[in-house]
Amino acid sequence: MTIKELTERRELAHRTNDGFDVTLFWSKASNRVTISVFHARSSTALEFEVDGADALDAFNHPYVYAAAGGANTNPLTLRSDLDHQELAG
């Protein structure tokens, strides 16, 4: 994901449940839809791209789609940096 995609992406939906934060994003620059999952207890995060037609289902069932699409897992420090960039933008 490029810096432009990060700064121009929009949060379409967010939910929190049992220490998991799940966010659905759309990038204006690339017209890509991504799902971001952050687990506070394990300090891990993952983010993966989904087809727009599957966006709501992937938002509701992120681990099914993450497993199918080979999602990347990121340490907390990368996720924290991402959160600060989004808040500043």
> 30 pLDDT exceeds 60?
yes
Domain residue ranges of the chain, discontinuous segments joined by +: 3-81
* Whether the predicted pLDDT of 15 surpasses 90: yes
Strand, helix or coil at 18? coil
What pLDDT digit, counting tens, does each position of 58-75 carry?
999 998 888 876 555 544
